[in-house]
Structure 1
Amino acid sequence: MLNNLKPQAPDAILQLITLCREDTRATKIDLGVGVYKDGTGNTPVMKAIRTAGKQVWDAETTKVYTNLPGDPAFGNVMRDLVLADSVSADRVSAIATPGGTGAIRQAFELGRQANPDMTVWTSNPTWPNHVAILKFMGLPNSEYAYFDAESCTVDFDAMMDSLKGVKAGDMVLLHGCCHNPTGANLTLEQFGIVADLIAEKGALALVDIAYQGFGDGLEEDAAPTRLLASKLPEMLIAASCSKNFGVYRERVGCLMAVSETAASAPTTQANMNYLNRIAFSFPPDHGARLVTTVLSDPALTADWKTELEDVRLSMLGLRTQLADELRQRTNSDRFDFIAEHRGMFSRIGATPEEVLKMREDFGIYMVSDSRMNIAGLNPTTVPHLAEAIAKSCK
């Protein structure tokens, strides 16, 4: 029977990793894989996480299962981190998931449980795995306009025009901050306008927030999600701890649901628990416990916030440096948007042919749609990238 299986298309980013690894040029730069790297090219373990790991190890007396939704303490600290006091706590249900990807998958499943006929609306472009999961699940997917490739900014008028097609019971997936893959974000005012449209349409918002703290700051990055929660009767939030806590391999995610009333929240929670049960029973605990330990200890929280802020400022510095280098080399402001984008990624508007030229001539490895990982740079490699862009892009 297994002979009936069909080959799967290779993952473009994993292919890039292999190509870059095989490149012998000392000047090569890997801007494909979405992980943070420090100035030495290492993805470090955060100090607060390392300390929390020792505390958990010393205090742990059992490896018995927690609960179907995971340790309730994890859901509580994630609710406080993402939503703060924007919505009453008794309206929020939460489950731990294997990474932010697991939270997205469970959000789609929960939406289908509530409305088997829903269409999921995703931005054009969006994180490719959003669309891949929807296709695998057989869920209808419509795109809404988002990115203007000419200016490399959000085309908000086109976005709102697209969203006129949303119907009651549909799901609208929004990036909470640091849009992946473009780096171009809605303003807080624009998020409010989108929230009004979603409420008017009777749709369900799903916020994917995977980079809180990487953009304008922890509170600033959470502001759009909190605004939506304060304006909408119900919504879903898929949160990831991979980036902002640096626990990539621990696979720490959380799906939160805001119900219309506190009375309906237990039913929402029971359905979320059920989805965990049929998918993987009990969610992984170790990474979630590390995050809970950090966010429950004021000293560790302070250490974590300091280190996270250093990471954020480092990426902003690289963005500014690259924009300045490109302004000098092109004698134009064409690439100034790079300094305005936020998060790990920017899509720079290069064609696939230009991306290939940069790879062949300069050893620059970025996704063919010209999405690049800013965190893959350091101050000494920025000039080389700027030279490659300036000489390869028309």
Structure 2
Amino acid sequence: MSKNMVADHAIRPVENDTIFTISAKASEAVEKYGPDKVINSSMGVLLEDNGDFVAFKSVYDYLESLEAPKIAAYASIEGDKDFLKAVKKACFKDHMPNAYIEAVATPGGSGAIHHSVFNYTNIGDTVITSSLYWDPYNTICLESGRKLDTYNMFNENGGLDIDAFKEKFNYYLTKQKRLLTIFNTPAHNPTGYSVSDEEWDEILVVLKEAAKDKDNKIIVLVDIAYIDFCDEKFNRRKFMEKFAGLDENILILIAFSASKGYTMYGLRNGALLCVTSKEEIAKEFFYTNLHSNRGTWSNGTKGAMRVLTDIINDENLGNNFIKERDHYVKMLRRRADVFLQKSEEVGLKLYPYKDGFFVCIPCKDPAKAADLLMEENVFVIPLQTGLRFALCAVGEEKCALAPKIIKEVLSKWDE
């Protein structure tokens, strides 16, 4: 007989979240040595060069101006109607595919990922993603009684390893006939890689070939949490148009998060969207996920929905917001450029970076490397095969210093 009070499926390791644990150690180091002596790249939140938290004035001034009922009242379970219209605009902008599209509100991108796993796979199924990934994907799968498997992320040319994806994708379709694949792009967490339009064409060839077997249920979740910190000149949303005209047994899901693009981390605002060629499947999506909302968090944060809705629909509010966000997109790009330049100068290898909050350093023993770097007051996050450095949280001057310190530590033992 089990000695545990929790049910068998709920037994978990006695350990804390790695990111929050390392962040707490970084805070202790700041208290002990002072902020100038510490490089804290642990948390995926946007900070000023001086370490101050970035909360967009355009967002929070408007939130504070709202009357209490627009914040305190219950939102609709599926998300307020005007929010759902606005979030489609926020997600696709000028690249909305010619397809049936529905949306439901979720508490950030995490809620969207939860619903995707829970509602589009069966208990015991395996979900696949790339070999470098945001660790809560695995946690969400385990919580839902699913498993996560990975394929090699990068080929020898520094692009997405389409062959590795195809092999793993086809393998699992022969075993379970229903398969959810997660792509975190553009601005992948943890590498900063963005899947190119040409690579999307190759992915879609794989999907379409598998869809010829009508018994296959093919679900692709695109986690776009960091898309709004991609420089607009790169046109990182264009790939979304490719989701038009797909076979009925291919369903595209998109996890939209306002946490990053709108600095609403604690307001828990986001949505799960679907793209399908069949109206009936879009309707099924809407009501399935509406019921899941009711059965988990009931409804979302009304004030956050109101702010996003009005920023999208009000030209003056929207222009102020875009101007402010563009300032920080440029700041992030400067940090990335200096980190990449200094890494090249000292010979520090990086996984391919294109956009976003993070860069990732290949490493044989990430946990050991992270511990050694903590001794140098450099705080990074150990992942599957590398170290995540959060450009978003580190000022430009320290982004210039960090590569040399990391290279020196790794060179002592990780050759």
1:33 alignment partner in structure 2: 43
- 1:345 pairs with 2:358: yes
Task: Pick from 184, 206, 214 the counterpart of residue 221 of structure 2.
Answer: 206
Distance verdict in 2 for CA 1:118–1:229, change over 3 Å: farther
Q: Aligned partners of 2:185, 2:398: CA distance in 1, in Å?
A: 30
Deviation for aligned residue 1:232: 5.7
Deviation for aligned residue 1:127: 0.8
Deviation for aligned residue 1:176: 2.7
Q: Aligned partners of 1:46, 1:19: CA distance in 2, in Å?
A: 27
Distance verdict in 2 for CA 1:68–1:20, change over 3 Å: same
1:310-346 per-residue CA deviation (whole Å, 9 max, x = no partner) reads: 2122111111112222333x2x4x54767x4321111
2:60 alignment partner in structure 1: 50
- 1:99 pairs with 2:103: no
Q: Note if contact 2:58-2:317 (Cα within 8 Å) is conserved in structure 1.
A: yes
1:201-225 per-residue CA deviation (whole Å, 9 max, x = no partner) reads: 2311111110112123398232234
- 1:194 pairs with 2:209: no
- 1:366 pairs with 2:394: no
Q: Aligned partners of 2:294, 2:185: CA distance in 1, in Å?
A: 28
Structure 2 residue matching 1:94: 3-state secondary structure: strand
2:133 alignment partner in structure 1: 126
Q: Aligned partners of 2:73, 2:172: CA distance in 1, in Å?
A: 45
Q: RMSD between aligned alpha carbons?
A: 2.6
1:347-385 per-residue CA deviation (whole Å, 9 max, x = no partner) reads: 11134333332221x200001231110112212212331
Distance verdict in 2 for CA 1:108–1:3, change over 3 Å: closer
- 1:139 pairs with 2:146: yes
Q: Aligned partners of 2:85, 2:103: CA distance in 1, in Å?
A: 8
Amino acid at match of 2:126: T
Q: Aligned partners of 1:265, 1:327: CA distance in 2, in Å?
A: 47
Q: Aligned partners of 1:227, 1:107: CA distance in 2, in Å?
A: 21
Structure 2 residue matching 1:280: 3-state secondary structure: coil
Distance verdict in 2 for CA 1:95–1:39, change over 3 Å: same
Amino acid at match of 2:272: L
- 1:298 pairs with 2:311: no
Deviation for aligned residue 1:48: 1.8
Deviation for aligned residue 1:147: 3.7
Q: Aligned partners of 1:140, 1:294: CA distance in 2, in Å?
A: 39
Deviation for aligned residue 1:251: 0.4
Q: Aligned partners of 1:259, 1:285: CA distance in 2, in Å?
A: 28
Distance verdict in 2 for CA 1:18–1:48, change over 3 Å: same
Q: Aligned partners of 1:313, 1:367: CA distance in 2, in Å?
A: 24
Q: Note if contact 2:22-2:379 (Cα within 8 Å) is conserved in structure 1.
A: yes
Q: Note if contact 1:124-1:145 (Cα within 8 Å) is conserved in structure 2.
A: yes
2:239 alignment partner in structure 1: 224
1:37-84 per-residue CA deviation (whole Å, 9 max, x = no partner) reads: 1112122221220232144237x4684423220101111111122234
Equivalent residue pairs, number: 384
Structure 2 residue matching 1:381: 3-state secondary structure: helix
2:342 alignment partner in structure 1: 325
Q: Aligned partners of 2:333, 2:16: CA distance in 1, in Å?
A: 32
Deviation for aligned residue 1:268: 2.5
Q: Aligned partners of 2:85, 2:380: CA distance in 1, in Å?
A: 38
Q: Aligned partners of 1:220, 1:103: CA distance in 2, in Å?
A: 24
Q: Note if contact 1:52-1:293 (Cα within 8 Å) is conserved in structure 2.
A: no
Q: TM-score, normalised by structure 1?
A: 0.88
Distance verdict in 2 for CA 1:65–1:88, change over 3 Å: farther
Structure 2 residue matching 1:33: 3-state secondary structure: coil
2:78 alignment partner in structure 1: 69
1:273 alignment partner in structure 2: 290
Structure 2 residue matching 1:143: 3-state secondary structure: strand
Q: What percent of counterpart residues are identical?
A: 21
Amino acid at match of 1:345: F
Deviation for aligned residue 1:123: 1.5
Task: Pick from 166, 170, 173 the counterpart of residue 164 of structure 1.
Answer: 170
> Bigger shift: 374-383 or 229-238?
229-238
Amino acid at match of 1:366: V
Could you list the runs of 5+ residues in structure 1 that have no partner in the other structure? none
Distance verdict in 2 for CA 1:230–1:188, change over 3 Å: farther
Amino acid at match of 1:295: I
2:328 alignment partner in structure 1: 311
2:215 alignment partner in structure 1: none
> Bigger shift: 238-247 or 165-174?
165-174
Structure 1 residue matching 2:259: 3-state secondary structure: coil
Q: Note if contact 1:82-1:225 (Cα within 8 Å) is conserved in structure 2.
A: no
1:184-241 per-residue CA deviation (whole Å, 9 max, x = no partner) reads: 2221110121122123223111111101121233982322344335646431111100
Task: Pick from 233, 258, 278 the counterpart of residue 261 of structure 1.
Answer: 278
Q: TM-score, normalised by structure 2?
A: 0.84
1:274-326 per-residue CA deviation (whole Å, 9 max, x = no partner) reads: 11111122222111211111111112212222222221221111111122223
